[in-house]
Structures are given as C-alpha cells and as structure tokens.
Structure 1
Amino acid sequence: MSILEVKNLSVSFKQYTTGMKQKELQVISDLNVNLEAGKILAVVGASGSGKSLLAHAILGVLPSNAKISGSMTYAGEELTYSRKIALRGKEIALVPQSVNYLDPLMKVGKQVRTSVRSGDPARKQKEAFERYHLTQKVEELYPFQLSGGMARRTLLSTAVVSGAKVIIADEPTPGLDPAVMKEALRHFRELADSGCAVMLITHDIDSALSIADEIAVFYAGTTVEIAPVADFTGKGEALRHPYSKALWQALPQNEFIPLPGTQPHASSLPPGCLFEPRCPWATAACRKGRPDMRELREGTVRCIHAT
C-alpha cells in the first residue's frame, strides 16, 4: 500500500548573475518515487543527482528561493506545505545527513526523548541508545561533546523512537563502525517489516542491496530507473537503463569499469535525454526530448531504447 507518492517533481532555484539579473537553475526535473508500507526504497546515484533535495522537498525544508512543481501525496491526500509542517518529525521522520541537525543547546538524551510520541520516553530513549551502543553517560552530553559516529547514532535514535510511518534516512551510515552500521541497517528492515515505509538515501549500493526491496537510480536530478533488488546481479543484464548498468559494473566486486564523462551540472543540462552525452545506446532521437518514465519488466525506466 502506497503511503507517500511523488510525481513529476521539479525543483529550481532563483539565482542572481552579473548585473543583478536573475536566472532559474533547474536541479530536479520530473522525478518520481513511491514509498510503500512495509518496504524499503533505496535511492542511489552520484553526488548532485538530487537525492537529498528530494528528502528536503518532502519535508518542506528547502530554502526560500526554491520553486517546486509536481505533486506529492501522503496517505492519499495532497502533501501541502502546512501538512508537511504538521507531519514533520511525527509521521514523517528524517535521519539527516548532517549531524548539525542536533540542537547544540540541548543534551542529547533529552533531544531523543522529545521525539517520543507514545509510551515511556525515558525507556524508549534508553532502549535506542543500547541498540546503537551509546552508554548511559552519553545522555548527559551536548552534541559538541560527541564524536561524529556518536552524533550519527543519536540522530538514528531520534528517528526510530518517533513512531513515524515514513522514515527518510539520508546517508545514515558513514562514520559508523561495521557492527553498528549492520545493526542500524537491520533496524531499518525491522521498521519496514512492522509496517513503516523507509527511504534509504545512500552511495553504498551494497548496503542498500542487503535490506532494500527496490532501488531507485537517480541521475542529474531525475529518476532513470526503479528496479527490484533482485535485478542487481550478474553483469546487470536484468537492469533496464544504461546508467544503472554502468553504475553496477563500476563497482569493485563487478568489473570495475569506469564510465567516461561526468554528470552534467544543473546549469548545463543537455536538451534531450540527460544521459545522452555519455550513453553507448544514444541515437539522434535521444536528443529530441526527455523520455518519460515507463513500466518495463516489473520496473520503470526513462529510456526509449530500453527493452
């Protein structure tokens, strides 16, 4: 069952150029994702592909110069800005990429307890800290007294005690030792199995494959493919988009094949398919317009040549 659906999301920012002229920089275009109860959707792609911006758009925390179009629904109803504010931290929780989201003036134990919406806050906070190997004395520390890994584990605790129906984890594992990282990933799986919808934003495809149900591949501010985890195997024969295949084949455990070229900057996007300048399948038709997402072999893809 779908809990949160994003359709044709586009995000642009107004910027000033020389002579105080304004221009709009399109950073996300026609982006689609669907979060379902009981499932984990992992979002992968290069830096600058729009992964974190998607999370910020869902939560309504984009800067004031952002312009948004498209549609977002939560539990079947439009996710307006006022509704985002009402649901944020309650039914939709974020595990942010930056540890600077912690309140520098509040002890971390209290910060976690304030996120608890039902049950005994003290008990839930202690259970979360035990799960993520944070000792009792950490409760009385301020964020500046934590190591990077401890701060990230505190953020994990804040999200998981919230009782949220949707959890968006933006690069939640960097800085964690392998045992804690494995525990955190396992807990995301447990949350999904208990009925939550989880979106895991990560560069670590291996971690995503260990717990996710589907993988959404982002490129230059849009979704190019959404595929079941089972399709990420072998040499990527089951994958649909050439970028997904290249991303898979570039991993060290596969053929470690580099992809020529670079992801285009938002200020210089190609006129047609965003991947066309680097694509081995490209034809003249690819330069005529941006392809729509379409269903193909139990997944979706944005490519006119995919079969």
Structure 2
Amino acid sequence: MNEQILRALDSVTAERAHDAVLGVRDLTVRFRLRGGRTVAAVTDAAFDLAPGECLALVGESGCGKSVLASALLGLLPRNAETEGTAWLAGETPPGDGRGALDLLAADERTLARVVRGRRIGLVPQSPAAHLTPVRTVRAHLAETVRTLTGTPRRARRAAAEAAAERAAFPVGHLDRYPHELSGGLAQRAATALALIGDAPVLLADEPTTGLDRELVDRTADELRRHVDTGKALLLITHDLAAARRVADRVAVMYAGRIVEIAPAARFFGRPGPRHPYARGLLNALPEREFTPIPGLPPELSRLPEGCAFAPRCARATGACEVRPDLRAGVACHHPHQDAEGADRA
C-alpha cells in the first residue's frame, strides 16, 4: 500500500475522531481487594469512535477489554473504582447544556433509561446470563421491539422475526427458552436483541464466540452493514479474522493498557503493526508465521514499573524500564518502522 493511500486513510481517521459520538479519555478502572489492595484492570485508556466507524479492541484474554466495556455501561461490580471521562454525544440530562453525557458520572437511572439499549446497544460476552430463563427468544425480541421502537402489537411478531434474521438466528428456534440454546444460538439471540434499537453506538463483546467460521463471517458482515448505515461499533474480540472483516481501526490492549491504535488497512496490511506485541498477535495466526508469543502476560497485581511487555519482547532494552506513553499511535520505545514480518493485504 503506497504512502499516498496511507496518508488518505490517516486523514479520514482524524476527521472521524473530530466528529466522535463516543470519546474516552484517561479511563482507569481499579478493583478494591481484601486487605486494602487495589488492582488496575484498565489504565489510561483513550480513544474516539465516530459514526460509521468500527474500532476493534483486540488482545489476549484478561487484558482488560471487557472491563473497559462494562465501565462504559455502568455494569462494573461494587468494588470497582473508575477515573477519567467517557462521553456520549447527543444525550444530556435535563438542564445540562454541555451537549454530551458523561457515562462514568451518570447515575443508574440515566444509564438504564437513556443509555443502555437506546444510545448504546450491547452484545454481551456471556449472553445466556443476560437472557431471562422463563421467557422464549421470541418473547425477548418482541418485548425489546416494543420497548425500543414502540412497534404496535400486531406488527411485533414480524419485527421479532426480522431481527432474528439479521443475526442469522433460525426462526424455528424462536420459541425455545435460553437453557435450550447452544452457546452459538445464545450468542446470535443476543446479537439480534442488540441490533433492534438501531442505537447510535453498538458495543459488541466477543460477538462471534461459539460460532463456526461461516457464521462468524455472516455475523461480521451484518455488523459491518450496521456500521455502514452510520452507526458506530466498538468490537471487542480476540478473533483477528473477524476484526479484519469489520474494522476501520484497531486498538490493541496489553496488561490493561492500549499499546497501539492504527487504521485497519495499515494494521493488517503494510507496513503492519508497529508495537512488537501487536505484531506478535498477527504472526501467531496460522496464515502468517504461526509463531506464538513467548512467555505469559503479567499478573495485573504485579505489573512492572516500565513496559509490561518487555519480559516477552525480543526488542527490549534498558530504556523499557521506563513505561512508554501512547504517542503517534504506539506505546513503545522500539516500535517497528517498516513492513518486516507483515503480509500484504
């Protein structure tokens, strides 16, 4: 990919950030533990999400992706503490003239009545836990249609079936209860519910878990169509193939921090990721080098003072004893500068 195209991609990304519908700045989430200790699961996360854009948040399990998502919707447990700001454009509490709603400062009533489902749709990581066990999938869909769209009763059945079709949920299973669903079917039911309200922002936490490759592609394509209607999508996933199919930009998390943000075309093509960890994720794929990253992620309660990836990184030097900031899209003292190790898109 030539430099002129890359500059054009960067220009588009900057323009979308300027018109962001969701903005996150210095978001930190800590959990209070017994004995007075605290563990930081997310540290200083910052990004913007624009209408018509998908940002894929990727990284190994336990890196803080789902905690970040829960913080945005006020779904953290009671022992969690948050700092920073996360604002949602176009929604303000009565009497507030700022033009945006601070999600971290909003009370439960505002989040429940204004945000969840209406302004931010959610595909949860564990969908079965979010489905009422005594109601069928059809009943879930019909009730969500009624609540979010005000569709007349006589039209709700058709609307529920249309929602199921969008998420590739088989109509013949609509009258089943949650405990009668496989993990993949529960995932598709949750996706159907999240798409009903056409919320300006969709937060999808591992929406392809439990699906075979064909359904992964179909789900990814439906999410892309949703984005192409002007909606914003924050896709949390460990499936880099799904991310490549949907994303406009990619944000990589490691040990609670975002270590790289890049346009998807640059990330998956040339010159490729700049952070050694991000490049290692791609090189671990079977279609790439199929080489795993050596070592294990650090425990969040025992993070080093410097770069958390340094113990696993072949490029580490004494400079990595100082924690790098996220500058020019990458938090690394020794970032890759060329197409080394990256495949052409």
Aligned counterparts of 1:96 and 1:214: Cα–Cα separation in 2: 21
| Counterpart selection for 1:241 from 265, 268, 275 | 275
| Shift in CA distance, 133/282, structure 1 to aligned 2, threshold 3 Å | closer
Instruction: Return the offset for 1:26.
Output: 1.4
1:108 counterpart = 2:126: no
Amino acid corresponding to residue 135 of structure 2 in structure 1: M
Aligned match of 1:177:
212
Q: Pairwise mapping of residues 1-307 of structure 1 onto structure 2 (< 5 A)?
A: 1-16=19-34, 21-75=35-89, 76-79=100-103, 80-82=105-107, 83-85=110-112, 86-98=114-126, 99-116=128-145, 117-118=148-149, 119=151, 120-233=155-268, 237-288=271-322, 290-295=323-328, 300-306=329-335, 307=337
Deviation of 1:122 (Å): 2.8
Structure 1 107/226 Cα, relative in aligned 2: closer, same or farther at 3 Å?
Answer: same
Give the letter for the 1:272 counterpart. G
Once the two structures are superposed, what CA deviation does each residue of 1:120-168 show, in whole Å capped at 9, x if it has no partner? 5333211122344444443322211222222111111100112211111
Cα displacement (A) at 1:67: 0.7
Quickly say closer, same or farther: Cα 1:240–1:134, change in 2 above 3 A: closer
C-alpha distance in structure 1 between counterparts of 2:165 and 2:83, whole Å: 42
Return 5+ residue gaps in structure 1 as ranges: none
2:203 alignment partner AA: I
More strand as a share of residues: 1
Residue type of the alignment partner of 1:305: H
What is the aligned partner in structure 1 of residue 11 from structure 2? none
Bigger shift: residues 80-89 or 210-219: 80-89
Q: What is the rounded CA distance, in whole Å, between the counterparts of 2:272 and 2:59 in structure 1?
A: 18
Q: Is the 8 A contact 2:169 2:185 kept in 1?
A: yes
Give the Cα–Cα distance (whole angstroms) in 1 for the partners of residues 48 and 171 of structure 2: 38
Deviation, 1:174, is: 2.0
More helix by share: 2
Number of corresponding residues: 297
